[in-house]
Amino acid sequence: MKNKFNNKSKVLETILNRLDCHVYWKNKQGHYIWCNKKLANILGFKNENDIIGKTDYELFAPDLAKAVVTLDKSIFNEGKEYQTEEIGFDSENRKAIYLSIKAPLKDEFENIDGLIGISIDITSKKQSEIAKQEFLMNMAHDLRTPLSGIIGLSYIQSKEGTNAVDRQHGQWIQDAGNQLLELLNLVLEVSAAEHHYIEIIPRDSIYLEQIVEELQALMQPVMITKGLDFQIKLDTNLPLISTDRIKLKRLLLNLLGNAVKFTKEGKVSLEINLLTIEDKQAKIEILISDTGIGIPEDKLDKIFDRFYRAHPSYEAQYTGYGIGLFLVKKTVELLGGQIKVFSEEGKGSCFTATFSFPLAEKTIEPSHELSQPSLPQSKTDKRTGSMLVAEDNSLVLHAVKNILVNLGYEVTTVTEGKTALLALQSQSFDWVLLDIGLPDLEGTEVARLYRQWEQENNKPHLPIFALTAHKTAEVKKKCEIANIDYILNKPFTLKDIQIIKLILQAKE
């Protein structure tokens, strides 16, 4: 008996015409071969067949058509599926945002001969996302301002309270305030990650060895304190790759931080393997493993969810907000990779991230680049939270850098006054921390010369913080002449960050 569903293409056509989205099919020359009714109607045609043979230039305004054709060309050239947002119009001729999924179509010889596209109107979803993001941003700002006041005043109370109890209370208010501020920042970061506000990825040419070196310097103190063995195994053939250095480093730092946090004894290891090099892409696998408490099997698929914690603090001593891995996964994906976790409760965990990094052009020999760690790296883009630290005492420098990097700042370090001045004039920083007692050129002199240059070159005021162990009247005078924003006392601690933040906020 003939089943009415035997006519598959008719059924498919009916389904496609009922869908609340645009479905279309084009050949490699850019001519439409078919589209569903919804798209035909929006374009002003009665019948979907009326579109056959037309090109985007006949259907859309020139700039819109050009954008569509450019994307289509990439699909034909790369043979990859694309998901992108496109601007178009709705049935009432209002501007609309479409989420378009376009995939290449192949003939029987596997040659690409066209593409299929599906475009969904996401305008209202986008609008509510923007409204939500705006609300969060405003709320964060409105909360942050009074919170900074609470933190600042409680800091003063913790130092200058009339008796020990008052000072202790001041300290507790400050700790709670800082915790709240941290949480607020995390919520914002999550919201930004969800809404792809951090999607612009700068491309840096990097050797992974260099990142590992930096990670090692950062992690070594805590490994030593906890008595953990930190093992590093790197492939000897790692090439120069192109990726967002800060994001990659941050995500690895996050994974290493977790490995240390959840491991009482044994080791934490970082292993990087080069899997393949093909089509100017290096496939690289990064493994971070530990011999810690592990993750129960039934919780493994949830740990990348935001705010999920497999070991909440009521069970033990582990603190956290369950956001780290959510951000790690988002960042890995943003950098074009994938992350997996293997774990056995009581034995340990292993996080494996696999990336396909584009190979970068070699401009400097690796040995040359690695042999000049004290020289500031040249940067063309200005990032929020980037700063220069000039300090000749390597122990102090290490401690300061540690604090700042752990807080997510991008730190460039120098050990001499002249290098500091050069760095300030050639790169952009959000603020600078200058030790007064630099060997070749005093910190105050660096600041004075920089201020001169700043004025001559019409540059905006750069916040300069001086660091000194002796805040004498003479030092104060010199700082005043050099228009230094604030003098901090050694040792540099987390409290100083608080002061710096308050001063920076006040200047905003």
Binding site for ligand ADP (CB under 6 A): 258-259, 262, 290, 292-295, 303, 308-311, 320-326, 349
Task: Quote the least distance from Cβ 308 to ligand ADP, whole Å.
Answer: 6
Task: Quote the least distance from Cβ 224 to ligand ADP, whole Å.
Answer: 19
CA distance 356 to 95: 36
User: Which one, 89 or 321, has the nearer CB to ligand ADP?
Assistant: 321
User: Which one, 349 or 444, has the nearer CB to ligand ADP?
Assistant: 349
Residue nearest to ligand ADP (CB): 320
* Helix (H) or strand (E) segment spanning residue 326: helix 324-334
| Residue among 359, 354, 351, 315 nearest 337 (CA) | 354
User: Which one, 282 or 325, has the nearer CB to ligand ADP?
Assistant: 325
| Residue among 484, 506, 498 nearest 476 (CA) | 484
CA distance 14 to 8: 10
Residues 6+ apart with CB under 8 A from 323: 186, 189, 190, 306, 307
Task: Quote the least distance from Cβ 453 to ligand ADP, whole Å.
Answer: 43
* Three-class DSSP category at 507: helix
How far, in Å, are 264, 399, 492 from residue 442 at the CA level? Answer: 45, 21, 19
- For 334-402, what is the HEC assignment? HCCCEEEEEEECCCEEEEEEEEEEEECCCCCCHHHHHCCCCCCCCCCCCCCCEEEEECCCHHHHHHHHH
User: Which one, 51 or 259, has the nearer CB to ligand ADP?
Assistant: 259
Task: Quote the least distance from Cβ 342 to ligand ADP, whole Å.
Answer: 11
User: Which one, 189 or 430, has the nearer CB to ligand ADP?
Assistant: 189
Write the DSSP string, 154-207: HHHHHHH-SSHHHHHHHHHHHHHHHHHHHHHHHHHHHHHHHTTTT-----EEE-
The secondary structure of residue 278, as a DSSP letter, is E
User: Which one, 125 or 233, has the nearer CB to ligand ADP?
Assistant: 233
CA distance 163 to 183: 31
Task: Quote the least distance from Cβ 300 to ligand ADP, whole Å.
Answer: 9
Task: Quote the least distance from Cβ 287 to ligand ADP, whole Å.
Answer: 12
User: Which one, 208 or 259, has the nearer CB to ligand ADP?
Assistant: 259
CA distance 203 to 273: 21
Task: Quote the least distance from Cβ 15 to ligand ADP, whole Å.
Answer: 41
Task: Quote the least distance from Cβ 494 to ligand ADP, whole Å.
Answer: 19
User: Which one, 313 or 505, has the nearer CB to ligand ADP?
Assistant: 313
Task: Quote the least distance from Cβ 312 to ligand ADP, whole Å.
Answer: 7
Task: Quote the least distance from Cβ 261 to ligand ADP, whole Å.
Answer: 6
* Three-class DSSP category at 293: coil
Question: Rounded to 5 degrees, what are φ and ψ at 208?
Answer: -60, -30
User: Which one, 35 or 288, has the nearer CB to ligand ADP?
Assistant: 288
Q: Are 230 and 291 in contact (CB under 8 A)?
A: no
User: Which one, 98 or 326, has the nearer CB to ligand ADP?
Assistant: 326
Q: Are 376 and 388 in contact (CB under 8 A)?
A: yes
